[in-house]
A and B are shown apart, each in its own frame.
Chain A
Amino acid sequence: MILRYIILFLLALTSAFTEVYVSQDILNNVAKKYNKFAENRFVNMEHKLEGLKDKTTIIKLNTVNTFFNEVSYKSDMENYNISDYWATPWEFLARDAGDCEDYVIAKYFALKYLGIDPKQMYFTYVKSTQFKEAHMVLTYFETPTSEPLVLDNNNHFVLPASKRVDLTPVYNFNGDVLSASAKKANQKTTQKWDELILNIKKGKI
C-alpha cells in the first residue's frame, strides 16, 4: 500500500516535468468509474512504459506485446454490445478486456509513445488459419521492404512474419500515414480511425 502511494507520488511528480502516457485526469476518472484494480493497471502501465523509454526497439516491442496480451480477450458484442468497435487504449485497459483490434490499438499507441515511428507500424488484417477467422495484428517494419515483426494477442512472442504461417496477410492499414496524406487536402481519413482519434483526444474511458 505504501509502495503504491510512493509510485503515485513519483508519477505525479514526474508528470509535472515530463510528458506522461496517461494523464492524471484519466487516472482519476478511471478510479472513479471503475475500481482500484483498474487504476493500478494504469499505474503499472505508466511505470512499465517509463522504464522502456531508453530500451531497444525489440525490447519495447516484446514488453508492450507481453504487457497488453495480459488483458483478457472479449468480443465487442460482449464488451460493448455492438458488433464492431475500436476501443481507446484507456477503455481497453480499464475494462481489462477487448478484441484483436483493441490489442493492436493499445500496442500501437504505446509504442508510438515510446518513440517508434508510426510509419513503421501497420494494423494488418490477417486470416488466422488456426482459428479460421478474420483477425488483426500489429506489424512492425524495420524498413518499408523488410520482413515485418508480428505482435499478436494470440501469441506472446514477437515473431517475424515468415514464422507465422498460421496467418495470411490481407491488408495493411496505418491511420497516421493516411492522415498525413488527407491533411494536405483537409479531409478525413477513415470513419473508424477518425472516431478513435477523437475518443482518445476526449480521454474516453
Chain B
Amino acid sequence: MAIADNLRGQKRAAMTGNEAVAYGMKQIEPDVVAAYPITPQTDIVEKFSSYVADGEVDTEFVTVESEHSAMSATVGAAAAGVRAMTATSSNGLAFMWEVVYIASGSRLPIVMPVVNRALSGPINIHCDHSDTMGTRDSGWIQLYSESAQEAYDNLIQAVRIAEHPDVRLPVMVMQDGFITSHGMENLNVLEDDLVKKFIGTFKSENPLLQVNKPTTFGPLDLQDFYFEHKRQQVEGMEHAKKVIVDIAKEYEELTGRQYSYFESYRLDDAEVAIVVLSSTAGTTKVVVDELREQGLKVGLLKPRVLRPFPAEEYADALKHLKAVAVMDRSETFSTNGGPVFSELRSAMFELEERPLMTNYIFGLGGRDIWTKDIKGVYEDLFEIAKTGQVKNKVNYLGVRD
C-alpha cells in the first residue's frame, strides 16, 4: 500500500478493496470492532488487527469466536452507546443472520463491510451476491460498490447515514469478493482529520451504559407493540432515502466524487440498457464505450442503494428505454428471475409505457463474466427492441448446457 500526497485533503493510494475498507475503518476509528475472519474478507480483519497492534487506532478489537458472536458483540457495544463495527462475507453473514435482524430491530447504527461471496453449498469462496441478497429484508441499508474507491467512499458515508437521528439503522457496504477485495487499485483517500470531521462523534439517544437512567433493551414484544416497532423501522428507511442523498452531496463537496441511489452511464439517450451491480458494472462500461463507438445507443444503470429501494427513481431512470436487461449475480430460486430483476420489474409497473425487460443470471460462484458475454446481452436487447418480444424472461449467462 503506497500513499502519495495530493490536493484537497486527499491522498492517492494503491490499495486492494479490503485494504481500502480497513483503512477507512482505521480513519473512522470505531470504539469497538468485533470481527471474525472469513475468505475473502480476512484481510480486513488482519489489517485492522495490525492497526490495533501498532497503536495506529484507538479501538477495542474483540477477537470473537464466530460471526454470530461478532454481530452479537457489535450489537452489545452499539447498544452500550459507542460506535461499533464488524465485517464479514458469505457464510459468515449467514451465520450471524439472526443477530443481523436484531441489530436493525434494535435501531443500532452499526456499519458492516461485506465482501460478497457465494453461499454454500457446495462451498465456494468466490464472488456472487447470494449472501447479501438474502439479507435484503433484514432492515439494513445496503450500499453496493463497484470499486475499492466506492467501497471506501460508501463506508465513510455509511457512518453518517446509519447514525442520522432520522434513520438510526445499520448499513452494510458491499464489494465483490476477490475481484474488488483483492484487486489492487489506485484510489483517493481522505486525510484522517477530514474523515473525523465528516463523521463527527456518535451520540446514542438511550445508551445502555447510562447507569442513572436504566434502559431495558430487547424485551419480549408481543402482538400489541411489535407491529408498531416494525412500522417505525419502515419510517427510518423512508427517511434514509433523503439522508443518503443529502450525505452524498456533502461528501461530494468534500471529495468531488458524486454519489446517488445509482449511477447512470450513457443512459440518457440510450435505447437499451443493462442494469448490473458492483464490479461487473465496470466491465459493462467498457462494453458500452465500445458499442457507442459503433454508434449503438447502449447504456448502463448501476444500482448503489438497494435498501431502501427508491423504486420511483429507478423507474424514472429506465422508463425511456426500449429494452432493459437486469443482470443478477444471485438466484432467488423462484423460477421467476433474480432479486434485482424482480424488484426493478415491479418498480416499472406504474409506468404507462414500460421497457421490455429480461433477466440474466450470471457469475454464480465466481464464474467469470466476459465482455463478449455482455456484448451478447446488448445484442439480445436490440433484438427484443426490434421484435417487441422477450423470448426468455430469465436467461443463464455463462453456464454450460
Query: Is this pair of chains taken from one and the same complex?
Result: no
A residues adjacent to B (C-beta < 8 A): none
Give chain B's interface residues, CB within 8 Å of chain A.
Answer: none
